[in-house]
Amino acid sequence: RTVSVIGMGYIGLPTCAIFASRGFQVVGVDVNETVVEKVNRGEIHIVEPDLDGLIQKVVAQGALRAFSTPQPADAYVIAVPTPITVDLKPDVSYVLAAARSIAPMLKKGDLVVLESTSPVGTTRNMASLLTELRPDLSFPSDINGDSDVYVAYSPERVLPGKVLTELINNDRSIGGLSLRSSERTAALYASFVAGDLFVTVAEAAELVKLTENAFRDVNIAFANELAAVCQDLSLNVWEVIDLANRHPRVNILQPGPGVGGHCIAVDPYFIIDAAPESTPLMRSARQINSHRPHGVVKDIEALLEPGRKQTVACLGLSFKPNIDDMRESPAVEVVELLAANPDIRLMAAEPHTRSLPCALQDKGIIFTDALTAIDEADIVVLLVDHRQFNFIDSESLKDKKLVDTRGLWTWRKARRPDARIEGKKH
């Protein structure tokens, strides 16, 4: 049994590793030659706990081999990027290119599963393209019918930093273009998924994936809006949220400098694009979250004393805590905006990387460690709540002006010990 995974990125590579560890012969395909060479050496090009050891093992066993062009298999799993264009339209060209690349190899009995986050209708469009390219084979067209090749959508929903455990333990939706396609897909994933598998139609499975991330975006926008309300009313937003969340049916997420990464900040646009008249809430959440970095910069600039150049130390650059990924990071955007202010001497610290990302190079920003930056700063800005920053001594922050976008110092560390009177259930 051979599985080919097209795209060896943040999702494809761990998926290759898991299939290979469950007895499949796995062929990983990526257009990037460097990725292919690295994987064939048993190395990885992304940071993800425990993945390096697993890849090393399955490559040494000969269960995973990487190629830059597609190879024949019995099942094809497509895990390529689906970005948005500058005018916020979904770009499914990588999915269609992947389908084109496997079309010549398809044979009767094969399965094609799309995993990439995709606009509603993409799986069916992909099947239409395959039908055009391979008129000699039949593809699913009727939910109850049979076909030569089976096609389904089954989105990943794993959290970067916990990918291996979540791949195994999370439940999965499976949207086959026919019931037989769903059955085949369920059998494939049952080889490693310990969670439940839920069968639905392809379009519903596509919308489910987008909905999960849009829900999180709206919830974070709510927290960010509440942060603005609390600023107006001189209240501590983290305390308000913490106490509101003690209600058994309230679960508000955390405010911050904005929403980064390549999922939550992107996927709602796939829904907005498909139903522009019906999505005022999602659109407004996107606006609130993508405007946050500008709000943070305004708060920092309000602390500057006129007529004197002051040092601002920005702590953290990644898009969320305890990872090195700086793609679409709101922290990077804050630093980039601050770099344009001639009254600021700007310092930045990011314990997970050795240098500034491209977007911040040649802008006069001093890249250093957190303690040096704090020491020299007039204003300290906490942009990412990395574990390391928990250990910063409050003495070193004593005479500094603080902009704490994650509530690390202003709430999590400063919680009053006498503010909780324990009830009988304790």
d(CA 374, CA 388) in angstroms, rounded, equals: 14
User: For residue 363, what are the contacts with CB-CB under 8 A and spacing of at least 6?
Assistant: 336, 339, 346
Residue 270 Cβ, how far from ligand SAJ at the closest point, in Å?
11
Q: Which one from 209, 230, 363, 398 is the annotated catalytic residue? A: 209
Query: Of these, 216, 283, 400, 401, which contacts ligand SAJ (CB under 6 A)?
Result: 216
Asked if 156 contacts 79 with a C-beta cutoff of 8 angstroms, the reply is yes
Task: Look up 263 and say whether it is catalytic.
Answer: yes
Query: Of these, 15, 117, 131, 279, which contacts ligand SAJ (CB under 6 A)?
Result: 117
Backbone angles phi, psi at 216, to 5 degrees: -65, -40
d(CA 336, CA 341) in angstroms, rounded, equals: 10
**Nearest of 366, 399, 361 to residue 380 by alpha carbon:** 399
What angle do the packed helices 202-232 and 237-244 form, to 10 degrees?
A: 130
Residue 162 Cβ, how far from ligand SAJ at the closest point, in Å?
9
Position 261 contacts ligand SAJ (CB under 6 A): yes
**Nearest of 77, 102, 70 to residue 14 by alpha carbon:** 77
Query: Of these, 13, 17, 39, 158, which contacts ligand SAJ (CB under 6 A)?
Result: 158
Q: Which stretch binds ligand SAJ (CB under 6 A): 127-135, 211-219, 332-340, 363-371?
A: 211-219
Number of residues near ligand SAJ (by CB under 6 A): 20
Position 82 contacts ligand SAJ (CB under 6 A): no
**Nearest of 115, 177, 170, 189 to residue 151 by alpha carbon:** 177
Q: Which stretch binds ligand SAJ (CB under 6 A): 126-134, 189-197, 210-218, 418-426?
A: 210-218
Query: Of these, 7, 14, 81, 256, which contacts ligand SAJ (CB under 6 A)?
Result: 256
Number of C-alpha atoms within 13 angstroms, CB side, residue 425? 0
Q: Which one from 38, 263, 314, 320 is the annotated catalytic residue? A: 263
Q: Which stretch binds ligand SAJ (CB under 6 A): 54-62, 255-263, 295-303, 336-344?
A: 255-263
Position 320 contacts ligand SAJ (CB under 6 A): yes
Task: Look up 162 and say whether it is catalytic.
Answer: no
- For the chain, the distance separating the N- and C-terminal CA atoms, rounded to the nearest angstrom, is 54
Position 157 contacts ligand SAJ (CB under 6 A): yes
**What burial class does residue 269 get, using C-beta atoms within 10 Å of its C-beta: 0-12 exposed, 13-18 middle, 19+ buried?**
buried
Query: Of these, 139, 319, 389, 409, which contacts ligand SAJ (CB under 6 A)?
Result: 319
Applying CB under 6 A, the residues found at the interface with ligand SAJ are 117, 156-160, 212-213, 216, 220, 253-254, 256, 259-261, 263-264, 319-320
Q: Which residues are catalytic?
A: 209, 263
